[in-house]
Structure 1
Amino acid sequence: MYQYVNGLVIRDGTEGVPAAQVENLFKDAGWARDIPSWQKEKYTLIFQKSTWAFTVWDVDRMVEMVRVISDKIMAANIMDLVVLSEYKGRGIGRRLVELCVQKLPHGDWFAHTSAANFSFYEKCGFEVKDLNENGTCAYYGYIKAREEGHR
């Protein structure tokens, strides 16, 4: 599946995500250092082992990504949501979270993140569960299900 938003392409899928593009995003976010070339395949493998993923492309450059681990029934965890610095503030990260939640709308969603990201997740409908340097943000789909009359 592809979607077009503000001149960017959002791709849905866990296959074919280039390791070099993921590494570039992780480095920009400060999540990765130089690693030996024989370990770089992990950046592709993390997608292959994920339940769902979305990547955002500006022509041939991946500028944002999110990947999810889930049982596809009750719960899901946002493992990585990263946006290239120069693309922050365009609302695409929020759109990625919306697309994730649509995959399991009445399930419980969790994102373990730093305090700097708490307000972002609150804007996405998550609650901040642990108020310290790092914490868990949660979106309870069962509450939405009740509101919509499904439970």
Structure 2
Amino acid sequence: MYQYFNGLVIREGTEGVPGHYVEALFEDAGWARNTPSWQKEKFSLIFTNSTWAFTVWDQDKMIGMVRVISDQIMAANIMDLVVLSEYRGRGIGKKLVELCVSKLPHGDWFAHTSADNFKFYETCGFEVRDLTENGTCAFYGYIQARRDGHR
């Protein structure tokens, strides 16, 4: 499925997402740097077991993406919502969240993110609770990888 948004094309699908564009988005967001060549395949493999994904294109350049992991019945997790920095502030991220939620409109949606993004998710209809009472438990594998000397 394709749709147009403010002169951009949004593509739905988890197949054929070019890993080099994903890597560029992750680098721009500060999520990746100096990825060894033997690990680069992860940037396309992350879509293999994702339930839904949307990518945003300006001509032949992928400038944004989001992927979702879900049971497709009750709950879904937004993963890797990212828009190239030069395109931020144009409503692209909010549009991606709307497209995600439309896939499971009566389900519970979660987005584990930093406090810097809480206001964004509130504008998308998410509730940010007092994290001293409710929160997301997370295991950060990259921290363990550093401890083990792999990163």
The bucket for the TM-score relative to the shorter chain is: 0.7 to 0.9
Listed as ranges, the gaps of 5+ residues in structure 2 are: 137-151
SS at match of 2:98: helix
Deviation at 1:76, TM superposition (A): 0.1
Deviation at 1:131, TM superposition (A): 4.0
Count of residues in correspondence between the two structures: 134
CA distance, structure 2, for counterparts of residue 129 and residue 20 of structure 1: 36
Listed as ranges, the gaps of 5+ residues in structure 1 are: 137-151
Once the two structures are superposed, the pairs formed by residues 48-127 of structure 1 within 5 Å of their partners are 48-127=48-127
Deviation at 1:35, TM superposition (A): 1.3
Within the alignment, does 1:39 sit opposite 2:39 as a pair? yes
Within the alignment, does 1:28 sit opposite 2:63 as a pair? no
State the match for 1:143 in structure 2.
none
Deviations 1:66-111 (A, max 9, x none): 0000000000000110010000000011010000000000000000
2:94 aligned partner, one-letter code: R
Within the alignment, does 1:19 sit opposite 2:19 as a pair? yes
Q: Is the contact between residue 10 and residue 56 of structure 1 (CA under 8 Å) also seen in structure 2?
A: yes
CA distance, structure 2, for counterparts of residue 130 and residue 36 of structure 1: 39
CA distance, structure 2, for counterparts of residue 36 and residue 66 of structure 1: 23
SS at match of 2:112: strand
Q: Give the 4+ runs in structure 1 shifted more than 2 A.
A: 129-132
Deviation at 1:129, TM superposition (A): 2.5
1:60 aligned partner, one-letter code: D
1:84 aligned partner, one-letter code: L
Task: Give the TM-score, by structure 2 length.
Answer: 0.86
SS at match of 1:56: strand
Task: Give the TM-score, by structure 1 length.
Answer: 0.86
CA distance, structure 2, for counterparts of residue 63 and residue 131 of structure 1: 32
SS at match of 1:62: strand
Deviation at 1:130, TM superposition (A): 4.4
Q: Is the contact between residue 115 and residue 131 of structure 1 (CA under 8 Å) also seen in structure 2?
A: no
Percent of aligned pairs sharing the same letter: 80
CA distance, structure 1, for counterparts of residue 60 and residue 49 of structure 2: 23
CA distance, structure 1, for counterparts of residue 45 and residue 5 of structure 2: 27
Deviation at 1:55, TM superposition (A): 0.3
Deviations 1:114-147 (A, max 9, x none): 1110000000000013448xx65xxxxxxxxxxx
1:109 aligned partner, one-letter code: W
SS at match of 2:68: strand
Deviation at 1:7, TM superposition (A): 0.9
